[in-house]
Structure 1
Amino acid sequence: MTDHARTDYARVVIIGGGAVGCSALYHLAQLGWTDCLLLERDELTSGSTWHAAGNCPNFSTNWNIIKFQRHSTELYARLGEEVDYPINYHITGSIRLAHSQERMDEYWHVVAMARAQGIDFELLDPAEIKAKYPFMELHDIVGGLWDPHDGDIDPSQLTQAYAKGAKDKGARVQRFTKVTGLERTPKGEWKVITDKGDILCEIVVNAAGYRAGEIMAMVGQYMPIVSMSHQYLVTETIPELESYQGKLPLMRDPDVSYYLRQERHGLILGPYEKERAQAHWLDGIPEDFAYQLYPDDLERLETYIEAAIGRVPILGKVGVQRVINGPIPYSPDGNPYIGPAHGLPNFYQCCCFSFGIAQSGGAGKTVAEWIAHGEPEWDFWSLDPRRYTDYATKSYVVDKALELYQNEYAIAYPSNEWPAGRPAKVTPLYEKLKAKGANFCARGGWERAAWFPQPGADPTPRPSFRRSNWHDSVAAECKAVRERVGILDLGGFSKLMLDGPGAAAWLDGMICGKLPKTGRITLSYMLNDKGGIVSEFTITRLAENRFYLISAAAAEWHDIDWIEKHLPADGSVTLSNVSARMGSIIIAGPKARELLSQVTETDLSNKAFPWLSGREIEIGFARMLALRVNYVGELGWELHCPVEHMVSVYDRLWAAGEAHGIADFGMYAMDSLRLEKCYRGWKSDMTHEYTPLMASLDRFVDFQKPDYKGLKALTAERQNGSKERFVPLLLDDEKDCDAPACAPVYLGDYYVGLVSSGGYGHTLGKSIALAYVRSDLAKPGTELEVLVLGERRKAVVAEEPLYDPENARLRM
């Protein structure tokens, strides 16, 4: 076979030759996937890679992204030697400064996560900071965080090392080859059209950096991506650094918003401007933009330069040697896209990295595992391209990217509802709830009421790692639901209709539980082959072969892709997305039946309308599906109502409910109520890293069914025992904070578990943490400790559910 013939086919084609694309090629080759071809339109590194500062932090406020970045830094320490390509990689350690206790709270949480993963982060007092960084002034500093593994790397050398390592195993790199089109062939392959000829392949990986949106346009999709200009300056030689023994740690001052790093005997200063961030190329990227920069604009950086000189005075003693002002791609939340593209079989994204050098190692590992194994080792919903659906338009992306860049170093509070790009999706009740004073949160793009300020309460949200100013208002909402009746506009459920003569048989083979009878409801799970939880559905059987599937708002594209990937090819099952056609109004509380009986003629008695059943009912001029189920653990109904009737239905319910003390409640109250019932959240308490047995969902697993996806793995796990189990923990003290997600759990000096979600149970008057712990410790009464903001808190394993253990209130 000639060389020319070989280039006509590859199993995988990767588009983009920056650090991320070359890492994907390298990691695929490491997994034995060597029939892979990387295409680069110019020279390797000619996009954002070549001008990147090359900083390599391990720090993140996300549990799995810490793992992700640590994979990178551990790889960089050995990569040059492994592939026999020299790399300038300096491990200097880094200091993140804190000007406030709020920032230190964030650092306490990150340090706890890192240490639980075996990464020796430390918190420093001002004197310890000075000892590590003698040129620093300490005014306004209360402390800092030390990452001993941080440092910097030469981005071009890193990229070439990846490429060499991949080529040594047989993978190929083709430079100066521009992709001009992508087509799906009748056989299901991809045809990659280039200016050097066509290439057929099984799988495409879009690693095109800031040009990733251009690649998606070739397949008719819009990618939520925008290029921001990031500017940093490099100083002339500083005499004090010439004579300094060693190399200064990288320093970040997040409360001011810049990083400062030694480069040879000078310094690199890189601010993230809080007011003058700039998005570029809103009308398209110049065709010939490669190895180019934007014009210098130091005026934007003046206040940051002054602040940095005040912090490190030697910075002000010399001039600027050069200025780098280049494009960096941003998504709306700043996280990259890694994983399957929605609606495109065998098409993967690995792009939109605003921290591509630090994350390239983890990115290559993750996308290679998606391709080779069907999913990555770690659940990365926070990076999944399908986390954004059709609401992520160009205007939305630009607004969010500007907001994000301006707040790149903002404190990552557990509940901070950033305002840009909102409202993107609203129900017809949005204006009505807004007029009532609701504070909103966005979930899957949908605006939902978060909380309603009580009379006289401060209506402005003040996020914190500690209990916030909405605490008492949320308590009042919880009390209304538990004692009277509450109403909630729950916009944005993913709502799918499954039909066809083969629907029942197919669905039975996809879920781990039993199918409900006609008119009844069940909660069930779709699993992967390893038994990991992929999706959670509330399933209502409307007829023998007609099912209504409800899942999380954010899961819409994810769940559609999963189902469509597994549908039978004979057309016996069809899937319809009715998410946008139906709203959801929740009525819950001991007075729910009395209220609802006043607005409908349907018999709502337990005999006629039992718990976990669904009926069509009428309220006024509206006909809707009423489901006797809810997420708060009270007597109640979900009313799945055509959107055009939502206002009239809400008004009738409110008018009828006033005599019963009806109250609006929001998502923060719902979260408190569901914690008391130990109801799990998708992608918080349940990910593909956990099986239903690990998640203590044994009651939803049917081992009598002859087969379904994941059964073999669950059977083996049942025989061998689960390593971890889900338990509720009650923190037995009076503090002003609750366990945040990913707080570590300890038994003495041993790390034994991880909190998946936590908060305050207003009905119980207790701080609750839902957690995965070592199976031998999952017995009620076991005493453990949860590390919360630097403090070991005593916690006791309790029996679930914590509230109403017999579910008597649901069955009232």
Structure 2
Amino acid sequence: MADLPSHARVVIIGGGAVGASTLYHLAKMGCSDTVLLEKNELTSGSTWHAAGNCPTFSGSWNMMKLQKYSTELFGRLADEVDYPMNYHRTGSVRLAQTTARMEEFRHVAAMARYQGLDYEMLGPNELKDRYPYMELHGLQGGLWDPDDGDIDPSQLTQAYAKGARDLGAKIVRFCAVTAISQLPSGEWKVESEKGTIIAEKVVNAGGYRAAEIGRMVGRDVPTVAMSHQYLVTEEIPELAALGDKIPLLRDPDDSYYLRQEGNGLILGPYEWQATPHWLDKMPEDFSFQLYPDDLDRLEWYIEQSCARVPILGSVGVQKVINGPIPYTPDGNPLVGPAPGLRNFYEACVFSFGIAQSGGAGKTMAEWIIEGEPEWDLWVIDPRRYTDFATKRYVVDKAVELYQNEYAIGFPHEERPAGRPAKVSPLYEKLAAKGAVFGDRGGWERAVWFAAPGAKPEPELSYHREGNWYPSVAAECKAVAESIGILDMPGFSKFEVKGPGAADWLTGLIAGPLPKVGRVSLGYFCSEKGGVVTEMTLTRFGEDRFWLISAAAGEWHDEDWLRAHLPANAAFTLENVTPRWSTLVLAGPRSRDVLGQVTESDLSNAAFPWLSVQPIEIAQARGFAIRVNYVGELGWELHLPVEAVGPVYDLLWQAGEAHGIRDFGMYAMDSLRLEKGYMAWKQDLASEYSPLRSSLDRFIRLDKEAFIGREALLKEKQAGSKERFVPLVVEAKTADAPFCSIVWKGDRRVGLVTSGGYGHRIQKSIALAYVETDLAGEGEDLEVEILGERCPAKVAVSPLFDPKNERLRA
């Protein structure tokens, strides 16, 4: 047993598969001054009882990358570290009982093939060829993943541990952490049952105990332990007679997986009676323990799976595993910097920790050593949840997610659990007017407005159909022809003011600062040149600014800004998000309407496009910015939260004669696509530089040093491999989903980051990154939409009002 050293560059807390993988990857990258502390024995948490399935399938582009890396690593790890493992690459079949499920599979298969995974779409008889023990009733087809399989979780963890030890890293078992505090030097003092260790950086890899570790540093980790139950059958003669293992079978429409274990089968359902545990208090120690069996809640799933695979019902149950698995509200883990803390990271709350352990360890090591990972993994960034993720929210969302573990991720689904968390003062008023809401960074925002008497729930589909579609079209028409009003609570807002503020911001953004009284977009880059975030820079004075960014990015962006504050700065940085809200007024009649409720001069001469001015509306004082995300004449009105209701009422009264209409986020998304406006963490990501993103007009490489400048200079000299372009697509009834593939002949040449229908131009639009030599106007390409390749043509942005005449009107 290793002794506890007094100091380490990195301390990892938690000895499951993810903690051990992080230790191994750090050592592989040259950081062997690392210590892993484990409360009990390695694998004693969720790892030891995990089923060990290793899918590559994911509806998320970068989660697929992460899982693909894991399976590739599993294939070579035993030889790399000289430790034998039971890893079986059996392949898997996923069954589809509906047309929508087949569409989902076709989309994910296209993503997978672009990443080098050899997915195949199969008909019912082809499924039977791959898995002869199944019955075909109700099936439309399915998906074959040849790289799927299973691995022994304990052996995998021990292999990571051996590889790390061989490279000089240390593991101290039976060493529970009791306290963590940060020293004035910025280092962390980690106290344990075996003594104290000082660490430059700490990683919380505590699994279902991650919240305990978080509380030691004042962090409320959004997690709950769910009970996942699977059963293992007795030996099945048909399987015992085989030489090789049969593939995994997953039936997502009936919500279970089935795979061979020895000569029996494992059945693992994700049942509707999802069961959270330890809501009041977690046991002092639950190492290598399980919950009592509760097979009654699996009865329906057992019946369905036995009807699908009759040999399953031919034998009895040998054992039942009912153990804790940690869940976040969206089912994705927490990997990256912990919000509000310096040099403290999270690699925890994995619902699929075995399959994701390899990629997670790689990512965590890159965060620690290089300051950022290779892939943009916002989907697992701990800062994606802010203060709305309370205990009740986490439990409600985790239960909902568990129930929908295999559900199709439709583009217009707004799941209701845990909501509302944060609401605008207009919430009840808009709900009474037919608003259908969506959760955006915890804030309820109207996404569309149901017509009187219409069903307010959207009809879920990949297609441009259902009750929401005509309503969104009408909202777009109102904005284009008269006037629309949109309630936009939750914009992240940071005020920077005081001597040196302008110089500091100049060193952070890749372009120029706006002049006093003006606004501009600012792009903050990493050292590698990728886009970290986009903010609207509003300049009220020589050294006074507002930085406005996405609601979901509040903690992420504040972390970035505070991490780069100079010591003893004479200026201040304040998060003013809670005090302000925003109304968007847009359309050709917006000046007429706004002019009725304010004495401000709204003429072009007095209030030009891309400028900001104080504004008074009745008893409210705020700021009006002549900018919007929809490409029409209009203003963003930034108001104290308490003033939003009265101002909305005044604007509505003034606008009734002009045909004012509420519009929602779906209409805004349609309108912004026509203008080529980009969405953060959708079109803009840290994997893309502003040059690749065709944001050249916002970049000044000849200005003084800014973060990322050297990387951008190199890219400029070498030429960007890709460019961001709008595509006009000859789509049928479905627009391109996120991460649809762009083709040129028989070559995959690009990736769609946003797709939808432009109601003003009456065309389907895809915003995409394509190879640079194919980014010219008029280039003929194709976009693969749900398995069908549709003709597309490269256009010039913006598609609508190319000279911005309506914005300047």
> For the superposition of Structure 1 and Structure 2, which TM-score range results when normalised by the shorter chain?
over 0.9
Task: Tell me, yes or no, if structure 1 residue 118 matches structure 2 residue 116.
Answer: yes
Show the counterpart of 2:356.
359
Q: How does 1:710-749 map to 2 (within 5 A)?
A: 710-733=708-731, 735-749=732-746
Moved over 6 A (4+): none
Looking at structure 2, the residues matched to 225 and 247 of structure 1 have their Cα atoms a distance apart, in angstroms, of 35
Q: CA deviation at 1:187?
A: 1.1
Show the counterpart of 2:319.
322
Task: Tell me, yes or no, if structure 1 residue 281 matches structure 2 residue 278.
Answer: yes
Looking at structure 2, the residues matched to 466 and 21 of structure 1 have their Cα atoms a distance apart, in angstroms, of 42
Show the counterpart of 1:347.
344
Residue 621 of structure 2: which of 620, 623, 640 is its match?
623
Q: CA deviation at 1:561?
A: 0.4
1:201 match: secondary structure? strand
| Contact 2:112–2:119 under 8 Å retained in 1 | yes
Show the counterpart of 1:670.
668
Show the counterpart of 1:645.
643
Q: CA deviation at 1:245?
A: 4.1
Residue 435 of structure 1: which of 411, 432, 436 is its match?
432
Show the counterpart of 1:139.
137
1:580 match: secondary structure? helix
Looking at structure 2, the residues matched to 190 and 382 of structure 1 have their Cα atoms a distance apart, in angstroms, of 27
1:68 match: secondary structure? helix
Show the counterpart of 1:29.
27
* 1:284-333: CA deviation from partner (whole Å, max 9, x where unpaired): 21002100000001111111111111001111111110000000000000
Task: Tell me, yes or no, if structure 1 residue 692 matches structure 2 residue 690.
Answer: yes
Show the counterpart of 2:585.
587
Task: Tell me, yes or no, if structure 1 residue 373 matches structure 2 residue 370.
Answer: yes
* 1:564-596: CA deviation from partner (whole Å, max 9, x where unpaired): 000110222311111111010000000000000
Looking at structure 2, the residues matched to 187 and 578 of structure 1 have their Cα atoms a distance apart, in angstroms, of 29
Show the counterpart of 2:803.
806
Residue 775 of structure 1: which of 757, 772, 778 is its match?
772
Looking at structure 2, the residues matched to 296 and 708 of structure 1 have their Cα atoms a distance apart, in angstroms, of 59
Show the counterpart of 1:611.
609
| Contact 2:725–2:769 under 8 Å retained in 1 | yes
* 1:420-448: CA deviation from partner (whole Å, max 9, x where unpaired): 00000001000000000110111000000
Q: CA deviation at 1:457?
A: 4.3
Q: CA deviation at 1:141?
A: 0.6
Q: CA deviation at 1:713?
A: 1.4
2:464 match: secondary structure? coil
Show the counterpart of 1:578.
576
Looking at structure 1, the residues matched to 135 and 271 of structure 2 have their Cα atoms a distance apart, in angstroms, of 22
| Contact 2:623–2:637 under 8 Å retained in 1 | yes
**What letter corresponds to residue 751 of structure 1 in structure 2?**
R
Q: Which runs of 5+ in 2 are unaligned?
A: none
**What letter corresponds to residue 571 of structure 2 in structure 1?**
V
Q: CA deviation at 1:241?
A: 1.1
| Contact 1:231–1:326 under 8 Å retained in 2 | yes
Task: Tell me, yes or no, if structure 1 residue 419 matches structure 2 residue 416.
Answer: yes
| Contact 1:761–1:767 under 8 Å retained in 2 | yes
Task: Tell me, yes or no, if structure 1 residue 598 matches structure 2 residue 599.
Answer: no
Show the counterpart of 1:475.
473
- Alignment length, in residue pairs? 808
Q: CA deviation at 1:3?
A: 7.8
| Contact 1:730–1:767 under 8 Å retained in 2 | yes
Show the counterpart of 2:8.
10
1:130 match: secondary structure? helix
| Contact 2:8–2:34 under 8 Å retained in 1 | yes
* 1:157-188: CA deviation from partner (whole Å, max 9, x where unpaired): 00000000000000010000000000101111
Looking at structure 2, the residues matched to 183 and 518 of structure 1 have their Cα atoms a distance apart, in angstroms, of 43
CA RMSD of aligned residues (A): 1.0
Q: How does 1:53-132 map to 2 (within 5 A)?
A: 53-132=51-130
**What letter corresponds to residue 776 of structure 2 in structure 1?**
K
Show the counterpart of 1:220.
218
TM-score by length of 1: 0.99
Show the counterpart of 2:304.
307
1:595 match: secondary structure? helix
Show the counterpart of 2:705.
707
| Contact 2:694–2:724 under 8 Å retained in 1 | yes
Looking at structure 1, the residues matched to 504 and 728 of structure 2 have their Cα atoms a distance apart, in angstroms, of 41
Looking at structure 1, the residues matched to 564 and 35 of structure 2 have their Cα atoms a distance apart, in angstroms, of 28
Q: CA deviation at 1:781?
A: 0.3
| Contact 1:567–1:573 under 8 Å retained in 2 | no
| Contact 1:98–1:141 under 8 Å retained in 2 | yes
Looking at structure 2, the residues matched to 415 and 364 of structure 1 have their Cα atoms a distance apart, in angstroms, of 33
Q: CA deviation at 1:415?
A: 2.2
1:135 match: secondary structure? coil
| Contact 1:729–1:769 under 8 Å retained in 2 | yes
Q: How does 1:225-244 map to 2 (within 5 A)?
A: 225-244=223-242
Q: Which runs of 5+ in 1 are unaligned?
A: none
Looking at structure 1, the residues matched to 384 and 62 of structure 2 have their Cα atoms a distance apart, in angstroms, of 16
Looking at structure 1, the residues matched to 735 and 249 of structure 2 have their Cα atoms a distance apart, in angstroms, of 30
Looking at structure 1, the residues matched to 285 and 633 of structure 2 have their Cα atoms a distance apart, in angstroms, of 64
2:577 match: secondary structure? coil
**What letter corresponds to residue 485 of structure 1 in structure 2?**
I
TM-score by length of 2: 0.99
Looking at structure 1, the residues matched to 349 and 42 of structure 2 have their Cα atoms a distance apart, in angstroms, of 17
* 1:779-808: CA deviation from partner (whole Å, max 9, x where unpaired): 000000111101011100000000000001
Show the counterpart of 1:262.
260
| Contact 1:450–1:668 under 8 Å retained in 2 | yes
Q: CA deviation at 1:85?
A: 0.5
**What letter corresponds to residue 347 of structure 2 in structure 1?**
C
Looking at structure 2, the residues matched to 156 and 102 of structure 1 have their Cα atoms a distance apart, in angstroms, of 37
Task: Tell me, yes or no, if structure 1 residue 410 matches structure 2 residue 418.
Answer: no
Looking at structure 1, the residues matched to 710 and 73 of structure 2 have their Cα atoms a distance apart, in angstroms, of 34
Q: How does 1:505-524 map to 2 (within 5 A)?
A: 505-524=503-522
Show the counterpart of 1:449.
446
1:693 match: secondary structure? coil
Show the counterpart of 1:150.
148
**What letter corresponds to residue 446 of structure 1 in structure 2?**
W
Show the counterpart of 1:38.
36
2:494 match: secondary structure? strand
Show the counterpart of 1:548.
546
Looking at structure 1, the residues matched to 517 and 409 of structure 2 have their Cα atoms a distance apart, in angstroms, of 44
**Structure-2 change in CA distance of 1:45 and 1:237 (3 Å):** same
Looking at structure 1, the residues matched to 465 and 163 of structure 2 have their Cα atoms a distance apart, in angstroms, of 51
Looking at structure 2, the residues matched to 288 and 704 of structure 1 have their Cα atoms a distance apart, in angstroms, of 59
Q: CA deviation at 1:456?
A: 5.5
| Contact 1:340–1:348 under 8 Å retained in 2 | yes
Q: CA deviation at 1:459?
A: 2.8
2:68 match: secondary structure? helix
